[in-house]
Amino acid sequence: MKNTTRLLIAGLAATAALPALAHSGVDHVHGFVAGFTHPLFGWDHLLAMFSVGVWSAQQGGRHVWALPLSFVATMAVGGALGMAGFSMGFTEAAIAVSVIAFGLLIAQARSLPTWLSALACSLAALAHGIAHGGELPQDGNPWGYAGGFLLATALLHCTGILFGKMGAGHGRWQRGFGLLASLAGGYLLLA
């Protein structure tokens, strides 16, 4: 098995694994674990965050760290806004559009200047963060919840980067994924 395949499998395992929390008397369900699982079990979040990783790897260079970093940082701001009660009437539509946009950018192997790519990621991340923050459980620990969704997001980006690097050279894997992601985003927008 190639090293890239092993890394991809390890990355997928890391994003799928939940921490074992056996201590009683501590509300893990509504804190870290709730935040960590939120992006993993929502197809819209999962596809967008994985796509950021794939697109950043596809573009290479500074994009590989700049896009995920800008996404996570802006999502933290959006999460704080969502926890404070801020909402946009079109948050779900903005999330679906982000899945479509990232999918199309990957399918077309579109390379943009780093600042423009980071701006696109930040705009999408703001909507994702507001959605995450707005769904903080009533009795949840906001710090644990935010830490959970930020860590899961970073792991999804890393897994996407591994996937993006896996087919470097010919890009059929990435382009096929991009097409499927954009179609899924279209479904999410219309559903």
| pLDDT digit string, tens, across residues 45-62 | 999 999 999 999 999 999
Model confidence pLDDT, tens digit, residues 101-150: 999 999 999 899 999 999 999 999 999 999 988 888 777 789 999 999 99
Tell me the three state secondary structure of residue 183.
Answer: helix
- Burial grade of 180 (CB within 10 A; 0-12, 13-18, 19 or more): middle
pTM value? Answer: 0.82
Tell me the three state secondary structure of residue 105.
Answer: helix
- Round the average pLDDT of the chain to a whole number and report it: 85
User: Are the C-beta atoms of 59 and 113 separated by less than 8 Å?
Assistant: no
The first and second tokens of residue 128, run together, are: 């994702």
Q: Give 21's pLDDT tier (boundaries 50, 70, 90).
A: very low
User: Are the C-beta atoms of 53 and 160 separated by less than 8 Å?
Assistant: yes
H-type helices in 42-171, by residue range? 43-59, 63-83, 91-107, 114-134, 142-166
